[in-house]
Amino acid sequence: MNRFVTCLLTSAALCAALPRQAHAELDAVKLKAAIETSFESDYPKLDAIYKDLHAHPEIAFQEVKTAAKLAAEMRALGFEVTEGVGKTGLVALYKNGDGPTIMVRTELDALPMEEKTGLPYASRDKATWNGRETFVAHSCGHDIHMASWVGTAKTLLGLKDQWHGTLMFIAQPAEEEVAGARAMIADGLFTRFPKPDTGFALHDGAGAYGYVSYRVGVGSSNVDGLFIRFHGRGGHGAMPQATIDPVMMAARFVVDVQSVISREKDPTEFGLVTIGAIHAGTAGNIIPDEAVVVGTIRSFKPQVRAKMLAGIERTAKAVAAMADAPAPEIRLDEGTKAVVNDAAVVGTAEKALKAAFGEKFMVTPANTTSEDYSEFVNAGVPSMFFNIGVYDPERVAAARKSGTPLPGNHSALFAPVPKPTIATGVTAMTLAVLSAFDQHVKGN
Ligand SMILES: [Zn+2]
Ligand SMILES: [Zn+2]
C-alpha cells in the first residue's frame, strides 16, 4: 500500500503527520483504487444527498434550497462558503498552504418538465416558471454533478497532504438558461474570490457508467436564439388577395432557411438551425396579422456562426420582400460560446485519467449541445470539461445493437444509476484536480 492509499484510508491528521516526500510522478492507478475504497464508506451519505436533490429539484435562479443544502455540506467539510453569488450561486473555498487555485464547478438547476421514470425517488415537485405552474425534474443529471462535487471535495480533503493551494468549488445557477455563469462573473466571482489557475467541470450523458470521455479544443457548440415576427395583413381566408399572409411567410422561411445550412455554409463545418416553435392564427378561415417563428442556431466556429447569422437574416428579409410585406422583426440573440478545452490542462489530466481508466477514458467528438461553462473559460480560466456515462454498460451495448437509444438528457425517462455514476464522477474529478496541482509543483 503506497503513501496515497495509506493517507486516504486513515485520518487527515495522520496524513498530515506523515513526512511529505520529494515530488514523484502521480501514481494514478493506486490513487484510483484508494479513491474507490474511500468512496465506498462515503457513499451512503452521497446517496442520501443525491436522492434528496433528485426528489426536490429547483428551476433556474430559484435554486435556494438546493444551494443551502450544498452550502451546509461544504461548511461541514471545513470550506469557507459564500452564498448568493450571481443570485443563487455559491463559492466554497478551502485553503491548504501556498499553491494554485483549482476550480471545480457544478450546476444547481433542474428543468421545467415532468419526470416519468417511476423511480422511488422521482420528483413530483412543481414550481412557477415564466408565469405558469410546471413540474420540475433533474432530467439533465445536475443532481449527479452535485453529489460528485461534494464527494470530490471530501476525497480531496482526505488527500490534503498530496496538494497545496486552494480549492475553489463553485455551484452555478441557471445552466439550462445559459445565464448562471455570466451572473456569477458579473457578481464578482473572479474579483471577490481568487481567479482560478485551472478549472474543471463534468457532465453526464446516456453512455455507460465507468467511462469518461473528453476532447481537446472545442467541446460544445456556440448557441444563438432565433426569434422572427413576420408582419402581414389579416383578413378572410376566402379573400387572400386582400391580405398579406404571414403563415405563408413563416412556412417559406422554415424551409428556405435550411438552404443557408446546405448551400451557403461549408459542408465540412458543423452548423445547424432548428425551428422549435411556430405561433400564428386562431381559426382555419382567418388569415392572421402576424406569425412568429422561434428557433436555435448552433455552430462550433466563429466564422461559421457569422455566416449563418447573416444568411438567416437575409432569408427572413427576402421572404417578407417576396410577399410585399413590411420588414420582419428579427432577433438573433447571442446565447453562449463553445467550451474550448485548454490543451495544456487536458494534456496533464489525460495522463492521470488514461493511467487510471485505461480504454474507458476516450476522446469523443464535440457535443452539438451548448454549455455556459464557456463563460469561465472566456474569462481566462484554462479548463477541461469532460463527460461521464450513467447507464449499465450492458444496457448501452444492447441499445446500440437494437438501434433504439436509451433516454438521454432532457428526456422524462432519463434515469442515471446513482452509485457507479457518482463513483466515476468523484474518481475522475479528484484525479483531474490532483493532476493540476501536480503539474503546478513540476512547473515550479
Ligand atoms: Zn441540460
Ligand atoms: Zn446539463
Q: What are phi and psi of 174, to 5 degrees?
A: 50, 45
> Letter for the amino acid at 350?
E
Ligand index nearest the alpha carbon of residue 111: 1
Q: Sheet harboring 329-336: ordered strands across?
A: 271-280, 290-299, 222-231, 329-336
CA of 221 to the centre of ligand 1 (A): 13
CA of 176 to the centre of ligand 1 (A): 5
Q: Read off the pLDDT of residues 10-67 as tens digits, 9 standing for 90 and up.
A: 444 334 433 444 455 688 999 999 999 999 999 999 999 999 999 999 999 999 999 9
Q: Is residue 94 within 8 Å of 78, Cβ to Cβ?
A: yes
Cβ partners under 8 Å of residue 443, min gap 6: none
CA of 269 to the centre of ligand 1 (A): 24
CA of 127 to the centre of ligand 1 (A): 18
Give the whole-angstrom CA distance, residue 428 versus residue 32: 8
> Using 50, 70 and 90 to split pLDDT, how confident is the model at 203?
very high
β-bridge pairing 329-336 and 235-236? unpaired
**9, three cell numbers:** 484510508
**401, three cell numbers:** 445493437
pTM of the model: 0.88
> Using 50, 70 and 90 to split pLDDT, how confident is the model at 442?
confident
CB 249: neighbour CB atoms within 10 A? 25
Q: 123-137 burial by CB neighbour count: b if 16+ within 10 A, else e?
A: beeebebeeeeebbb
CA of 283 to the centre of ligand 2 (A): 38
CA of 231 to the centre of ligand 1 (A): 33
Give the whole-angstrom CA distance, residue 120 versus residue 112: 20
Cβ partners under 8 Å of residue 129, min gap 6: 59, 62, 112, 136
Give me Rg for the CA atoms of the chain. Answer: 25
Query: What pLDDT does 440 receive?
Result: 82
Give the whole-angstrom CA distance, residue 409 versus residue 277: 20
Q: Read off the pLDDT of residues 293-340 as tens digits, 9 standing for 90 and up.
A: 999 999 999 999 999 999 999 999 999 999 999 999 999 998 899 999
Q: Is residue 92 within 8 Å of 184, Cβ to Cβ?
A: no
Give the whole-angstrom CA distance, residue 100 versus residue 115: 41
